[in-house]
Each structure stands twice: as C-alpha cells, then as structure tokens.
Structure 1
Amino acid sequence: MTQTKVLISGAGVAGAALAHFLHHDGFDVTVVERAPGLRDSGYAVDFRGDAFDVLAEMGILDEIRGHDTKMRGTALLDTEGAAVGQLPAEAFAGELEVPKPELTRILHRVTEPNIPYIFDDSITALTQHPDRISVEFERGAPRDVDLVIGADGLFSKVRRLAFGPHEACLRHLGMSGVGFTADNILSLAHSGALRTGDDHTAVYAFSAADTARMSVSLSFATDAPTLDRRPRSEQEQAVRTAFTGHKWVVPQLLDAMSAADDFYFSSSAQIHLDSWSRGRVALVGDAGYCAAPTAGMGTSQALIGARSLARHLTASDGDHTAAFAAYEAELRPYIEANQQTGREGAAAFGARTE
C-alpha cells in the first residue's frame, strides 16, 4: 500500500509533534522550515491538562519534567517597583514550565532520525488537484504530495496561500510587546515580577534556569498589528514612546532592549477561521487557531491539536475530508474556550479593548 505523503510547513512544536504521530502511524512525512536552522529562542512555555498525555504518548514527559523552571510565583508591583501582591506560580507557569529552546530541541531530536527536515526554505505556491497537491518552494524543486499541513504560526504562509490574506482572519487584541533577555538586575530567582500602569503598559520579568539573566516583556496598547512587519528600529521606537517618563528600572530595561541580540516583537492576536481546512490543506496550532500568548495555552493547543489531527487522519482510511472535519469538530470547543481566556488575559495586561 502506498504511503500518504504529507508535507508539514513549520518545525515548531505543532509541526514536530504532528510529524512524530504521523510517522508513527505509517505516513511519509517531510517538514519544511523557513528558518536556517532549529529555532533556539523564545520564552519559557507551560503545559496544562491533556498536553501531559500527549508528552507521555510521545515518550518525552519525564525528560521534559527534567527541565522544569521551578517557578515560585510572581510579585505584583506598583509603578515605583514596590510589592503590592503575589500571584501563584500557576498563573504564568501552568502545571509545568520549561524553557522553549529545550522543548524544541527535544522534539527535533526524537523526530529527526526518521523524518526529513528541510531548513532555509518555504512554500511559495500550492495547486490543488483531485488526487494530489503540487507545491512550489522558494529554493527547492517542486513536488507533489497528498496533503499539506500549515504549522507555521500566526502569520502562516500556508494559510495565506490556501485561505486568503492574514487580515481576513487575524483579530488584534489591542496589545503589542517586545521580549528579550537581560542581566538580572531585579535579583529574581525562579520568580517573576509584574508591573502594570494606568497607561495600558505592563512590564513582566522572570528568571528561572539561569539566575544571572532574566527574560523581559514590555507590553503596551496598540490599535493594529502593523508593527510586526516593521524594521526593528521602528519597533524599538514604539516601545520607547509607550514607556516615556516611566521610572523604576524601566530606563535600564529600555537600554537592555536595544543591546539585546534576542530581541523579539509581537502583537497579541488571535486567528478566527470558519474552517481549518481547504481541500487537501489543513492548519494546526497557531496557524489555525492562535488564542494569543495571554491565554497561556499555545503550547498545549499545539500538542493536543497535532495528536488530534494525526489520530483522525490515521482513522479515516485515506479520506482526508472526513479526517479534517472530525479533527475540527473535536477541537473547536476547546479552542473557543482558550480564545476567550486570551481576550480576558489581554485586557488584564492593559490592552486597549473596544
């Protein structure tokens, strides 16, 4: 029997997990990733609920637990930096939190021996036929496959090609922010600090595995996610404008931002689609149903969605249309609940809501 050929765009959590499950069930899987190599940046990620079952099924739960950040909680600060309250560790760290680079490394290590990864390339065109889908690439030779899965994040290239422009499905939540690491000037130790302002700004910092360094997030209200596509200089200027006049350690953090080599800018946004599939193309993770970082569910959604999609494709006996429909019917209530949490979280962080 001929193996079903599946091309996955995106080597992140959703893409690697889906590749693992599909390969295990006998599919011929290839992963293409536009980055030149494995991504080794990003904040810590947390796991909640059924995500633990997915990690256990993949055989990596114990190893993941070995990288627990052991966060003890987050201090709530006033504008002068004085403590006024405390949030429990679960508020940000979920039931288990690990550095994202460690999770990415583990997922790649367990899949790479059996699954081809094509780095530094991306899909440029998709042409659907009754019995296959033809794929063109920025660098590689064209190929025909049976299915294409977009696991390529909020600004998914696969989604844009198969479903339409980002603007048609991207819902901005009124907040943008920058992330980077800096010297641990707050002396945090497996703990965090959160300072919000009446001007719709928030400073969040935490230190976990390396207590000499801390991860910093500077968030502020915005009307649209256009800054995500702008040069770093413009993004930095937007942050500095939002935090003009702020005291405490904010001026030091702004200087650290400009010096950071792991600078990352993003807007808090969600993806809303009437359907997560078009013909032989389907979406998984943030590409299909991002709930926004303020939901705290991105990694869990990626893992649970990947397992669900793989299970339904395996059970469908080659009927991808039925598999995609069953996958969506199973997952959509869970996603909608998480997206509501994401909207509430954005408002709590000072987003400018309608």
Structure 2
Amino acid sequence: MRNSNVLISGAGIAGPALAYWLVRHGCTVTVVEKAPALRPGGQAVDFKGETHQTVLRRMGLMDEVRRLQTGGTDQEIVDADGRRLAVVPGEFTGGDVEITRGDLARLLYEHTAPHSEYVFGDSITSLTETAGGVHVTFERSAPRTFDLVVGADGIHSNVRRLTFGPESAFVRHLGHHYALVEVEGDFGTVPSMYNEPGRMVAVGGPKAPAFFVFASGQLDYDRYDMGQQKDVLARAYAGMGWRTPAVMRAVARSGDVYLDSISQVRIDRYSQGRVVLLGDSAYGNTLGGFGTGLAVVGAYVLAGELAAAGGDHRTAFAEYERQIRPYAKVARNGNAGPFLAPGTPARLRMRNWMFKYRFLLDLMMKMGDKFATDITLKQY
C-alpha cells in the first residue's frame, strides 16, 4: 500500500484506535503525544448501540471492555440538605457499555504499542507538505518525513492549528466549563449531584472523580498549570452549599486536576493535502455523549478507506469524510452545559422533572440510539 508511513498526533482514544487498524492494514505507525505518559482515570465514557459494539468486536476488544466496564451506576440529584430530588439512571449516562477513559486508553495502548512507535512528552512544531510526504519538526525529537499525518489530538488540536489555522476559527465556546478532579475523602458510595443556578458538583460512587460544570465565559488560564486550574475552580465554587466546601478542600489537595471549556468544533473539511483530522479535532462536542463512539468508528472508517484505496490519500480522505460527516451530525448540535448546570431555579426544576417521568427519558435515549447507529459499516 502506498503512503504507509503514518504519523498520528494524540495518544488518547482516537489515535491508538487508528493505529490499531493501520497496523492491521500493513502501515508503519508513529504516535506522538504531548503528555509524558498515558493519563489514568478520568470520566467514564460509553458505547451506544450496535455500530459502536460492532467496531469493538472487529477489534477483538469487546470482552476486555466488558471486563473493565464500570456498570453505569444510578446517580442521585440532591438538595442542599442531601435530600433526594431525582435519580439519573445508569443507563442514561452509561450507554450499553461504560468504561473509564483511562482504562480504555490503556487497553488500546497495550494492543498497539508492540506494533507501533509511541513518543511521549513531545509535540509537533511544524508541518510542511512536499511532493512525496510531510516534513515534520518536533519540540524535542529530530525532524522526520511521513507519508501522511493524522490529527487525533482533541478539541485543542495542534495539527488542526498548524494545518488549517487558529483555534478561534473552528472552536466555538458554549458558555460553560467543566472539571474532573481525583479527590480523596469519604464522599459516599452513592454518586450524588448538587446544583445551584449555573453550577453543578458531583461526587461519590466507585472510581469516580469529582465532576464540576459551571457557566462561564472564556477564561484565561494555562491548561497545563494545575495551580491555575485550582484557582479557577475555587473562584467558581466559592459560597456554594451542600458538601461543596469539603469537596473544594479535597480539590486543593489533589494532584490530578483537569479543567477545560465545553466547546464545539465546526470545520468545513476534515483534510488538507496529506493531513487529516480524526475524532474531537474534527467533530468534537465536549460532554456530548458520543465522542468516544465517534472516535472509534471514525478510526475504523479512515483506516479502512486508506486500505481500500491502496493508500491513495485523496480518494480515502474524501470517502472518509463522505461517510463520517453525516454520522457526526450529532456533535454539531446540543450543549451539555445548560443541561448539567441549568442557569435558573425554574430550569433546574424542569431538568429534574424530566428524570421523574420515564417517557421523556426513554425518548431521549431512543434518539441517542438512533444517532449512534446512523451509519452502515463496510467490511474492509
């Protein structure tokens, strides 16, 4: 196959999933990741419907994912005194199969590392397309040339910035931020969520980091500086009731904080020349509920189309986009922020009311299943 030497930026979910299929199709794969190592823990991610599960089965991962699944635990919505107001059923948030992001990333890494080159603690600094490839420079490694480059590096994609232009042209801030923080302390065995207008905090349950969502305009802070992230959270949650003060003391002691905006990616095309975008870098919608499924399905289609086209990247990239853009339409709509952190007492009551009446919940879940299966998978 032509164009078989491929560089992937990003070792989260989309990148290693693509590496798996490219190696199966005979490619030589290098994965570069800015972080010094795989990030453990993190929020639960899920797979919905037959399409997602078909890809996992074709990867031979279904049994292992089920072995590591978290189970989709019910979550209580409580008032300031801890009294239950409503219950969010596990199947609503957990899909058909739920697993922590860290466990899934590790599983994909373990299945690809023996056959791929992983470079951690490094990042791409320039991409220059030539007649026969892409000349790539790095922060730390020596320059190299690859046949193709894939940006699987998330909503804040470095590859997208270098190839298509500044992030501001493609990423739309949706008015909220979220955080995941590994905290120590006894916050109960039942996952609980507490809201005040424009703010939400959730703690408790097995293997679950503290989870925050709050309304905010764009914030100026260093996403790689944990101290700055803690300061943002401290300001956002000052004076909040329930158990929030104890949670925030645990946040101050934590060594694992992740804070980011709830944002949406809008881009007119997924590829330019020998560079192509995959997963959140192309069709991300933070906390939208479909990102992991879109990543693994997109990886399957992109690798399969490259193989089907014999490495002709122009044909393969066009067919990948033809299939995935309609499938990814779910990521072009919706905003999880106002649902998780409604801005007024009336909207909070309406959100909680939805969980009391099963027919509304069932309708939302059926719509989710339809989106998740709205593609016909080829057998490459």
Please report how far the alpha carbon of residue 168 of structure 1 lies from its aligned counterpart in structure 2 after TM superposition.
0.8
Matched, 1:220 2:218: no
The residue number in structure 2 matching 1:36 is 36
* Amino acid across the alignment from 1:304: V
Distance, in Å, in 1 between the alignment partners of 2:256 and 2:282 is 26
Distance, in Å, in 1 between the alignment partners of 2:176 and 2:210 is 16
Task: Report Cα offsets for 1:106-164 as digits up to 9, x if no partner.
Answer: 11111111111112211111001232111111111111111000111121111111011
Distance, in Å, in 1 between the alignment partners of 2:31 and 2:186 is 40
Gaps of 5+ in 2: 345-380
Distance, in Å, in 1 between the alignment partners of 2:193 and 2:25 is 44
The residue number in structure 1 matching 2:247 is 253
Q: 1:202 aligns with which of 179, 200, 203?
A: 200
Question: Contact 2:48–2:293 (CA<8 Å) still a contact in 1?
Answer: yes
The residue number in structure 1 matching 2:191 is 192
Please report how far the alpha carbon of residue 4 of structure 1 lies from its aligned counterpart in structure 2 after TM superposition.
1.7
Q: What secondary structure, in the 3-state scheme, does the structure 2 residue paired with 1:202 have?
A: strand
Task: Report Cα offsets for 1:230-278 as digits up to 9, x if no partner.
Answer: 7433432332222222221100011111101111111111111001111
Task: Report Cα offsets for 1:4-53 as digits up to 9, x if no partner.
Answer: 21111111110001001011011121111122222224222211122211
Question: Contact 2:8–2:149 (CA<8 Å) still a contact in 1?
Answer: yes
Q: 1:307 aligns with which of 292, 300, 318?
A: 300
The residue number in structure 2 matching 1:87 is 88
Question: Contact 2:302–2:316 (CA<8 Å) still a contact in 1?
Answer: yes
Question: Contact 2:179–2:257 (CA<8 Å) still a contact in 1?
Answer: yes
Distance, in Å, in 2 between the alignment partners of 1:285 and 1:230 is 22
* Amino acid across the alignment from 2:194: R
Task: Report Cα offsets for 1:172-220 as digits up to 9, x if no partner.
Answer: 11111221122353322xx42222212x0011224225xxxx4211221
- Percent of aligned pairs sharing the same letter: 38
The count of aligned residue pairs is: 343
Question: Contact 1:174–1:352 (CA<8 Å) still a contact in 2?
Answer: no
Tell me the TM-score normalised to structure 1 length: 0.91
Equivalent residues in 2 for 1:65-144 (5 A)? 65-144=66-145
Please report how far the alpha carbon of residue 302 of structure 1 lies from its aligned counterpart in structure 2 after TM superposition.
1.1
Please report how far the alpha carbon of residue 72 of structure 1 lies from its aligned counterpart in structure 2 after TM superposition.
2.9
The residue number in structure 1 matching 2:366 is none
Question: Contact 1:153–1:286 (CA<8 Å) still a contact in 2?
Answer: yes
* Amino acid across the alignment from 2:206: A
Seen in structure 2, the aligned counterparts of structure 1 residues 313 and 217 have a Cα distance that, compared at 3 Å, is: same
The residue number in structure 2 matching 1:155 is 156
Distance, in Å, in 2 between the alignment partners of 1:269 and 1:153 is 11
Q: What secondary structure, in the 3-state scheme, does the structure 2 residue paired with 1:246 have?
A: coil
Question: Contact 1:14–1:151 (CA<8 Å) still a contact in 2?
Answer: yes
The residue number in structure 1 matching 2:348 is none
What's the Cα RMSD here? 1.9
Gaps of 5+ in 1: none
The residue number in structure 2 matching 1:9 is 9
Seen in structure 2, the aligned counterparts of structure 1 residues 183 and 235 have a Cα distance that, compared at 3 Å, is: closer
Matched, 1:348 2:339: yes
The residue number in structure 2 matching 1:319 is 312
Please report how far the alpha carbon of residue 3 of structure 1 lies from its aligned counterpart in structure 2 after TM superposition.
5.9
The residue number in structure 2 matching 1:334 is 327
Question: Contact 1:222–1:352 (CA<8 Å) still a contact in 2?
Answer: no
The residue number in structure 2 matching 1:266 is 260
* Amino acid across the alignment from 2:286: A
Please report how far the alpha carbon of residue 70 of structure 1 lies from its aligned counterpart in structure 2 after TM superposition.
1.8
* Amino acid across the alignment from 1:259: R
Report which stretch shifted further, 33-42 or 299-308.
33-42
Please report how far the alpha carbon of residue 340 of structure 1 lies from its aligned counterpart in structure 2 after TM superposition.
1.5
Task: Report Cα offsets for 1:89-121 as digits up to 9, x if no partner.
Answer: 022212111122211111111111111111221
Question: Contact 1:71–1:93 (CA<8 Å) still a contact in 2?
Answer: yes
Distance, in Å, in 2 between the alignment partners of 1:127 and 1:352 is 46
The residue number in structure 2 matching 1:244 is 238
Question: Contact 2:180–2:211 (CA<8 Å) still a contact in 1?
Answer: yes
Distance, in Å, in 2 between the alignment partners of 1:38 and 1:148 is 21
The residue number in structure 2 matching 1:285 is 279
Tell me the TM-score normalised to structure 2 length: 0.85
